[in-house]
Structure 1
């Protein structure tokens, strides 16, 4: 569509405004000139539109020799949309969380022993990021391995008042799975083997972060099992 030479300045402003509004992409000045008479001062039209929209919620801005309407930068915080994202844990993460919950405090090696496969670095990272596990201290054994336990957020997430409310605890204990003195899946959890174990619910101090990062960099002895996607369900 071309406009004859009789089009006034205000009409040209409206045309440019309409073209920019209807375009899904920024429009070049050459494309805008094709919509206007040759004698029209396109720079003047654009400058007038910039001024008109200067105090509005939408501004006319220049983007690499192209023009487009954009929401005002100072309104960004009012336009932000917060959306709750439901995240699912992999099968490996679910198994690891269950082992930590029932056997805590437990080391990486002990988790791997129970699962029968090497634990990928990302699995603990995911649980730590979710706030469901936390460091519990180091064992007084060679290598001083870091132990892990659940956090207060874990109890809140699954509606538990304490760890004794975990489903099937008594059944697992009676079957020997949680027998800490020996047997299949058992782990020696002597209190004297731990140092600096946290008894409160406070988060890890900042000065512990380099220590944790060092632990994450441990080499993996084998591949992780396939990451089948599973939902966490706690059922009696």
Structure 2
């Protein structure tokens, strides 16, 4: 095999990426070749381009994320591929997703600053879960009384949501404000729709075990569905408020009728 030939090298890289089950940087790929046989860096880049084109029309693609390159199932196949895992996926609350979104867009940010935006306290289990998933990390401490920790996202967050860098996050202006109305505070732990959960958990590797390459969640679709869910919650609340107003009017009318009857007697 002539490794200086990009087409032949592309085949070798395909095997390496399939076997790794996780993203691999260009530097790491180069290290896997003996120095005497190692092609130039330009040949590696050409080979990766050839490999990407060879995936066209197939169920998987070559994707570059923050940690490097990986072969993964295309997102449109997520509903079927997700059925391979029979275990019940972990449920993500609306409060957790809002917290993650605020960290992603306003990092570095403290827990207190998140609470100021959301208008409610941040449950300590939320930050604990995000830290355990290695989606966020502590990057320093704010120079104010109490020196609160500042959170930022990790490469693991970018990898999970299929992003190469934070520049690929959808524009915040395209999403509704995440500041909830006070009345929604009781719904902070509402479950996320099942369709969103299926995609959000598709790429998750339980207990850090290696798994077959699978498609990552689109952060744009995750936030869009979160946005739709919030709109639905607000619509439901408005319906309840209208119903309460109607009940109040009926109660007032009943009181007036009673007063009228008493005056007649």
TM-score band by shorter chain is 0.3 to 0.5
User: Greater helix share, 1 or 2?
Assistant: 2
TM-score by length of 1: 0.41
TM-score by length of 2: 0.36
